[in-house]
């Protein structure tokens, strides 16, 4: 992606291979910011995405937990097969310098939501994000985790032409460094 002045964002993808009907898929590996070849500038920042080393699948399934099958381009494509476990943010202090890690975000998931053999399709549900900031002196500071609470993800059935009403769910709550925010008043479009 490039603007009128030649500033560019570079997305780097990795082709991932696996056994089965979805032999290959693409996985976003990193994003580098403000490359400008005409001005002789290398990127000054990079976001790196780290995934779990193995795919998780229920017995008898060829689709990884949390993945989506997509047919929008006229052929079958597997999206989101890998579990994102960490996001790393790197910067360069000068154009000649190497990247230095400045922030790390570790992502935790609800293992019960991913369990096989339930009355619902297993899925990935984020329960916590923990940020670690690294100072220019290399001192790491880990902040309190931002946690997420959700309602019951049990089965909801819907007969044809009968509206489904889900009742008894607790409000969606996000905990930010010890303080809770109630998200039950949000509108979903």
Q: What is the pLDDT of residues 41-65, one digit of tens each?
A: 999 999 999 999 888 888 988 888 8
Q: What is the pLDDT of residues 111-167, one digit of tens each?
A: 988 899 887 788 899 999 999 999 999 999 999 999 988 877 655 454 444 444 444
pLDDT of residue 176: 54
Question: Residue 150 and residue 188: Cα distance in Å, rounded?
Answer: 15
More confident residue, 142 or 38: 142
Average pLDDT along the chain: 80
Strands (E), 52-178: 68-70, 77-79, 84-91, 100-109, 126-134, 140-142, 146-149, 173-176
Q: Which residue bears the tokens 């937990």?
A: 65
pLDDT of residue 21: 64
What percent of the chain lies above the pLDDT cut of 90?
39
pLDDT of residue 34: 86
What percent of the chain lies above the pLDDT cut of 70?
76
Ranking 14-18, 96-100, 124-128, 175-179 by mean pLDDT, the lowest is 175-179
Look up residue 43 and give its two tokens: 């990127």
Question: Residue 114 and residue 23: Cα distance in Å, rounded?
Answer: 22
């Amino acid at each position: 992606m490039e603007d009128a002045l030649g500033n560019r964002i570079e997305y780097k993808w990795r082709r991932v291979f696996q056994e089965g009907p979805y032999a290959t898929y693409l996985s976003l590996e990193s994003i580098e910011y403000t490359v400008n070849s005409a001005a002789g500038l290398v990127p000054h920042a990079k976001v790196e995405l780290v995934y779990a080393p193995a795919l998780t699948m229920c017995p008898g399934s060829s689709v990884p937990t949390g993945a989506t099958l997509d047919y929008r381009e006229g052929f079958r494509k597997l999206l989101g097969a890998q579990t994102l476990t960490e996001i790393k943010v790197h910067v360069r202090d000068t154009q000649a310098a190497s990247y230095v890690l400045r922030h790390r975000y570790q992502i935790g998931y609800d293992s019960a939501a991913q369990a096989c053999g339930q009355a619902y399709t297993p899925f990935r549900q984020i329960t916590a994000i923990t940020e670690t900031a690294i100072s220019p002196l290399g001192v790491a500071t880990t902040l309190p985790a931002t946690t997420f609470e959700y309602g019951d993800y049990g089965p909801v059935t819907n007969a044809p032409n009968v509206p489904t009403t889900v009742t008894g769910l607790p409000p969606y709550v996000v905990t930010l460094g010890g303080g809770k925010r109630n998200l039950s008043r949000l509108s979903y479009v």
